[in-house]
């Protein structure tokens, strides 16, 4: 490995110590468990205070996509990818529609998974099963993107040995992740998130400083781009791109707020005050993460040539390689930033892994396979599920090495997740919303989204229809069916008490 | 219990977000303008300013308003299943 990446022994010692600390925290989380129950393993006894909650939300929300995907997209699109700042904030805005109320309900009804709310609200096994499948498929997509980014993080730094480094990265990092995740459950993952969130925040600030120190001010990078054939990437985005902006704000805002792992962190909050304060702080974090990732992409556009397609996601790694070769301080900061990138990847991937395992275990295995199974059995099945899932996705990530850009993977995930918006965001407020109508809307929305995304339609350009994500087209139909179906079938006598 | 004031507040908060959404998308800025300040294009400074205002407003909404004024803290206990299904 030492010959693959241009890091010396001290750097590997630092990175190794960081990775070992994750395993140690997994062991501490294992020892700190209070009961062998799903609530303890997946929600840590609902005891997250403000500091843990804000850092775990931050580390979970800002992922490999936030670092490599956004920098790569800014390399391709220029300043037009400032939309990433907008859509990361939109997630926090959309939380306001349902998170505070969902938190109260989760306390009353002891929810563990997002589907627990749907079961309580609508009482429809079919709706719950379909919602579970939608969330598990979407999260698998997300987890796959994280694993691929782990590989890309090493690939970009390794230069001519990139392919081998990619494979080592995927296998090694996922192994560590699954060990500490299954040892300590959400408690270990939240504790590691505290470290990872702090390193991530520090790493982003260090990244901005080092880019300016190494390549000069942003104004110089912008002038370089203006003098190149890419000059249009400095100007305001075209009308078509602005339609995509609107689409991204809506689909990522709603879809991101419906991340199952984030919903479970809402459940795990110690109090509503802790939740509200955490989300208030999260409203400012796009400026110290997404914005800096865009600026990194702009520096790459100015000073790194020749990246195309999925390879553009390596732009940040290329920049880091240049920086570390030029000074000792740069070298040290690159090691810190590299650790921050690993933190972003692993904190998001471990949360997705645990969330998938909780939904599979509680909402599918515990309902449709072994109804009435003991909590200890369900917890054991959840851990086994995590190992199998991660092994399968790691193999897939290696097979799909050069296949897709991270942003493409991200788009498909949101196309699916956003179909759950009526069930959660509308259903939590409107007593008259009916389960049958929500189920029909969800089925139609998913069918439309997937057909448009993967079908051979000439009017679908770059995965979008006139700049609009297929998921939003599906959501329009989904929402209409849910509302009209509920109005038509409206009957008195049913009272959901939020 | 939701009061008429709560419902009214929800509407004006929604209206402010709608106005902010219009402002954060720089459709109103001239196409092809590449002027920049410290490297950031002018249109980007304007849209990021609108995003910052949205962040401040969002933080105020979270910190200043509570859905029902309660805080279901550690004392909140599971109450069992609600009688609230539509028979599916």
Please spell the DSSP secondary structure of A207-266, one letter per residue: HHHHHHHHH--HHHHHHHHHTSTTGGGTSPPPHHHHHHHHHHHHHHHHHHHT-HHHHHHH
| Residue in A89, A220, A497 closest to B84 by CB | A497
| Residue A422 to residues A11, A187, A251, A345, A374, Cα–Cα distance (Å) | 48, 31, 13, 30, 33
Stretch A81-107: mean pLDDT: 94
Kindly report the nearest CA distance between residue B88 and chain A, in angstroms.
5
User: Which of A124, A222, A271 comes nearest B73 by C-beta?
Assistant: A271
Total-model pTM? 0.86
- A235 at B interface, C-beta within 8 A: yes
Q: Is B13 left (phi over 0), alpha (psi -120 to 50) or beta?
A: alpha
| Interface membership of B35 toward A (CB under 8 Å) | no
* Residue of B68, B79, B86 with shortest CB distance to A494: B86
Closest residue of A to B82, CA-based?
A120
Q: Please give the interface size between A and B, counted as residue pairs whose CB atoms are below 8 Å apart.
A: 167
**Residues A357, A389: contact at Cβ < 8 Å?**
yes
What's residue A34's pLDDT? Answer: 73
Question: Is residue B9 less than 8 Å (CB to CB) from chain A?
Answer: no
Report chain A residues whose CB lies below 8 A from the CB of B11. Answer: none
DSSP characters for A86-145? HHHHHHHHHHHHHHHHHHHHHHHHT--SHHHHHHHHH--HHHHHHHHHHHHHHHHHHHHH
Q: Is A435 in Cβ contact with B86 (below 8 Å)?
A: yes
The model's confidence at residue A444, banded by pLDDT at 50, 70 and 90, is very high
Q: Is the pLDDT of residue B71 over 60?
A: no
pLDDT at A320 over 90: no
CB spacing of B59 vs A280 below 8 angstroms: yes
Contact B88 A495 (CB under 8 A): no
Work out the mean pLDDT of chain A and round it to a whole number: 85
Fill in the DSSP letter of residue A490.
-
Residue B23, chain A, CB below 8 Å: the answer is: no
Residue A23 pLDDT exceeds 90: no
Query: CB-CB: which of A85, A107, A291 is closest to B72?
Result: A107
Residues of A in contact with B68 (CB under 8 A): 104
Residue B68 pLDDT exceeds 70:
no
Q: Which of A78-87, A398-407, A424-433 has the lowest mean pLDDT?
A: A398-407
Q: Does B27 touch chain A (CB under 8 A)?
A: yes
Contact at CB, A126 and B29, closer than 8 angstroms: no
Can you give the pLDDT at residue A249? 94
Nearest chain A alpha carbon to B1? A498
Confidence of residue A177 (pLDDT cuts 50, 70, 90): confident
The answer on pLDDT for B4 being more than 60 is no
Lowest-confidence range among A98-107, A133-142, A390-399, B3-12?
B3-12
Nearest chain B residue to A277 by CA distance is B63
CA distances from residue A205 to A217, A289, B39 in whole angstroms, order as listed? 15, 8, 18
User: Can you tell me whether residue A465 is helix, strand or coil?
Assistant: strand
Q: Which of A124, A272, A286 lies closest to B71 in CB terms?
A: A272
Summarize the confidence of residues A189-210 as an average pLDDT.
84
Minimum distance, in Å, between the CA of residue A74 and any CA atom of chain B? 13
Q: Do A154 and A318 contact (CB within 8 A), yes or no?
A: no
C-alpha to C-alpha distance for A52 and A186, rounded to whole angstroms: 12
| Averaged pLDDT, A350-355 | 86
In chain B, which among 44-83 make CB contacts under 8 A with chain A? 44, 47-48, 51-52, 54-56, 58-59, 61-63, 66-68, 70-74, 76-83
Q: At what angle do helices A70-77 and A315-326 cross, to 10 degrees?
A: 100
Alpha-carbon gap, residue B34 to B13, rounded angstroms:
34
Q: Is A243 on the interface with B (CB under 8 A)?
A: no
3-state helix, strand, coil in chain B (%, to 5): 50, 5, 45
The shortest C-alpha distance from B46 to chain A (Å) reads 11
The average pLDDT across A59-85 equals 86
Q: Does B85 contact A at CB distance below 8 Å? A: yes
Contact of B41 with A234, CB cutoff 8 Å? yes
Lowest mean pLDDT among A20-24, A312-316, A400-404, B58-62: A400-404
Q: Note whether B76 contacts A104, CB cutoff 8 Å.
A: yes
ipTM of the complex model: 0.84
pLDDT at A342: 79
Average pLDDT over residues A168-184: 86
Q: Are A153 and A129 in contact (CB under 8 A)?
A: no
Average pLDDT, chain B: 76
**B32 interfacial to chain A (CB closer than 8 Å):** yes
Q: Position of tokens 């995304």?
A: A453
């Amino acid at each position: 490995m030492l010959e693959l990446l241009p890091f010396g022994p001290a750097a590997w010692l630092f990175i190794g110590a960081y990775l070992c600390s994750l395993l140690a925290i997994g062991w501490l989380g294992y020892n700190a468990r209070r009961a062998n129950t799903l609530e303890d393993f997946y929600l840590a006894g609902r005891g997250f205070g403000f500091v843990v909650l804000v850092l775990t939300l931050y580390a979970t929300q800002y992922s490999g996509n936030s670092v490599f995907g956004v920098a790569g997209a800014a390399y391709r699109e220029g300043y037009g990818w400032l939309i990433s700042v907008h859509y990361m904030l939109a997630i926090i805005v959309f939380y306001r529609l349902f998170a505070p109320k969902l938190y109260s309900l989760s306390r009353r009804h002891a929810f563990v998974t997002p589907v627990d709310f749907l079961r309580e609200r609508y009482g429809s096994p079919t709706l719950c099963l379909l919602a579970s499948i939608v969330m598990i498929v979407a999260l698998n997509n997300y987890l796959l993107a994280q694993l691929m980014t782990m590989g890309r993080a090493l690939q970009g730094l390794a230069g001519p040995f990139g392919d081998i480094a990619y494979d080592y990265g995927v296998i090694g990092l996922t192994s560590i992740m699954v060990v500490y995740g299954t040892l300590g459950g959400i408690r270990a993952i939240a504790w590691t998130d505290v470290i990872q969130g702090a390193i991530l925040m520090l790493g982003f600030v260090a990244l901005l400083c080092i880019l300016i120190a190494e390549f000069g001010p942003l104004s110089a990078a912008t002038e370089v781009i203006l003098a190149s054939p890419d000059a249009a990437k400095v100007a305001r985005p075209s009308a078509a791109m602005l339609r995509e902006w609107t689409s991204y704000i809506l689909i990522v805002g709603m879809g991101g707020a419906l991340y199952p792992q984030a919903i479970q962190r809402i459940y795990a909050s110690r109090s509503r005050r802790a939740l509200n304060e955490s989300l208030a702080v999260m409203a400012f974090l796009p400026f110290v993460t997404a914005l800096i990732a865009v600026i990194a992409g702009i520096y790459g556009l100015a000073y790194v040539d020749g990246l195309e397609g999925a390879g553009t996601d390596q732009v940040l790694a290329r920049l880091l390689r240049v920086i570390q070769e030029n000074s000792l301080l740069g070298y040290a900061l690159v090691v810190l930033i590299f650790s921050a990138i690993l933190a972003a990847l692993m904190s998001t991937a471990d949360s997705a892994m645990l969330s998938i395992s909780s939904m599979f275990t509680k909402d599918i295995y515990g309902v449709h396979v072994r109804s009435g199974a003991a909590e200890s059995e369900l917890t054991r099945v959840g851990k086994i599920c995590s190992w199998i899932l991660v092994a399968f996705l790691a193999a897939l990530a290696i097979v799909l090495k050069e296949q897709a850009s991270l942003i493409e993977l991200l788009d498909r995930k949101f196309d699916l997740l956003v179909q759950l918006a009526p069930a959660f965001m509308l259903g939590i407020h409107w007593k008259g919303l009916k389960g049958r109508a929500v189920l029909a809307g969800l089925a139609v929305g998913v069918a439309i989204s997937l057909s448009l995304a993967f079908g051979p339609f000439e009017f679908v350009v770059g995965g979008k229809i006139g700049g609009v994500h297929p998921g939003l087209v599906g959501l329009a139909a989904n929402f209409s069916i849910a509302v009209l179906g509920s109005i038509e079938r409206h009957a008195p006598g049913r009272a959901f008490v939020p | 219990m939701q009061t008429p004031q709560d419902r009214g507040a929800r509407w004006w908060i929604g209206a402010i977000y709608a106005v902010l959404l219009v402002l954060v998308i720089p459709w109103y800025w001239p196409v092809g303008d590449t002027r920049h300040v410290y490297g950031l294009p002018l249109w980007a400074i304007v849209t990021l300013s609108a995003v910052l205002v949205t962040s401040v407003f969002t933080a105020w909404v979270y910190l200043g308003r509570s859905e029902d004024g309660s805080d279901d803290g550690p004392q909140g206990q599971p109450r069992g299943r609600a009688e609230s299904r539509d028979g599916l």
